[in-house]
Structure 1
């Protein structure tokens, strides 16, 4: 996924009110950018981080800038915009870069299975079979280990249990962790943050839901989901 125009580099002053971030640009101008990430963003929003903003030409937008990337003090890139996770997965499905999904012939986004109570990110078609997949964006890193979630997520737990119900009925299901942090080499469930979600993931895995993770290469021009990563349950 390439950015449509060059990102604007700045330095993070602070993130606040969840959706706002103050950034100092190279010329000393301070702007307020939209932060498209509702999570805790632990380790992703440290004052002094280099950040990259996209600029909107829509005159009706309240905030002209959107915070897209952060770069840690050690040089690792983080994808801040969680809305990009599904775009990255869709592109990877189209390009067949993940072997586990290489036989997917088509897919649809935002699908509610028959008799289900949840809408999932993707319905995948394999010949005559339909599989359902939920995608979660991972940015919480401790050294080279990634963790999800970074805050309590009742919605995430609900999705896991619904995937488990589908799997028990014989329908193929997947939970995919889209890692948008270049330091992360494996993914774990953050039971110390949300033990209920951790139990839900284990229940899903025991029911037959396939738990997978994929990582991205990230720089100032693009994000590309292109590598499978191990998941440690």
Structure 2
């Protein structure tokens, strides 16, 4: 389903910089106008297999001047720094929920969920907190970044990382989504990309992936739906590119 409606507009436009290196899970060193700043990296895990040297990025600036890191890295690009029309990959998984909330409230995801004005954040279900309750539909948002579904250009340095192992929270959440159907009519796992990704059906590699896939299949058989949404991030706004259901594709993969 294609759409091009109301954008999520940033109060202050994002600032372009160049990532010099990722010092640790939480800090990226970014050059802006000849000055290098320690910037907050909003995802602590691996971002594809990218080695962050000379990688373009977009930064948001905090209003809290006493914060240790004044800037947050919101997006990266695999285009050359000299490219004037870069494509951006959003990496702020917390911000993804703000974008999803905006487009649900504005009715732009109405084929997936209706009654967007009735949205509530972080609702407790069992032993978990799920991201949204919209009417009687629970929604959990996941933003995969360990594998980027984009062509990585030759100038980007890559290094094979370790296998993804922090899956327990995901398994718990999708289980709670399934349990919510004992009292509710609908439950959705929403896979969110802040770039235009191809259809995502998960990975078949890795020693834990069969266990994860079996858990997803079990929840789907109990009635959980799986949807995908792709956003486009620019220095000024986030737009909805498309969204679609992938439940059957995952079962048949």
Note whether the superposition's TM-score is higher than 0.5: yes
Deviation, 1:167, is 2.7
Structure 1: runs of 5+ lacking an equivalent: 145-149
| TM-score using structure 2 length | 0.79
Ranked by relative contact order (alpha carbons within 8 Å, sequence separation 6 or more), the top structure is 2
Aligned counterpart, 1:30: 36
* Cα separation, partners in 2 of 1:170 and 1:122, compared to 1, 3 Å: closer
Tell me if structure 1 keeps the 8 A contact 2:55–2:77.
yes
The partner residue of 1:123 within 117, 123, 133 is 133
Cα distance between partner residues in 2 of 1:186 and 1:9 = 29
Give 4+ residue runs of structure 1 displaced > 3 Å after superposition: 43-46, 102-105, 168-171
Which of residues 91, 95, 99 is equivalent to 1:84?
95
The TM-score, its normalising length taken from structure 1, stands at: 0.85
Larger strand percent:
1
User: How much has 1:105 moved relative to structure 2?
Assistant: 4.8
- Give the 3 Å change call, closer, same or farther, for CA 101–45 of structure 1 in structure 2: farther
Say whether 1:187 aligns with 2:194.
Answer: no
Are 1:47 and 2:47 counterparts?
A: no
**2:10 and 2:50 mapped to 1: Cα distance?**
20
Instruction: Report whether the alignment pairs 1:106 with 2:118.
Output: yes
User: In the TM superposition, what whole-angstrom CA distance separates every residue of 1:157-181 from its partner, at most 9, and x where no partner exists?
Assistant: 1111121222356542110011112
Aligned length: 220
Cα gap change, 1:108 to 1:169, in 2 (>3 Å)? closer
Residue 212 (structure 1) aligned to one of 212, 220, 227: 227
User: Does structure 1 residue 199 correspond to structure 2 residue 206?
Assistant: no
Residue aligned with 1:112, SS: strand
Aligned counterpart, 1:147: none
RMSD: 2.2
1:164-209 per-residue CA deviation (whole Å, 9 max, x = no partner) reads: 2223565421100111123x12112124244132221111111110
1:207 and 1:38 map into 2 onto residues whose CA distance is 32
**For 1:65-110, what per-residue CA distance to the aligned partner results, in whole angstroms no more than 9, with x for missing partners?**
1111111127431112111111111111111112222344511001
| Deviation at residue 5 of structure 1 after TM alignment | 1.3
Structure 2, unmatched stretches of 5+, are 1-7, 81-85, 152-162
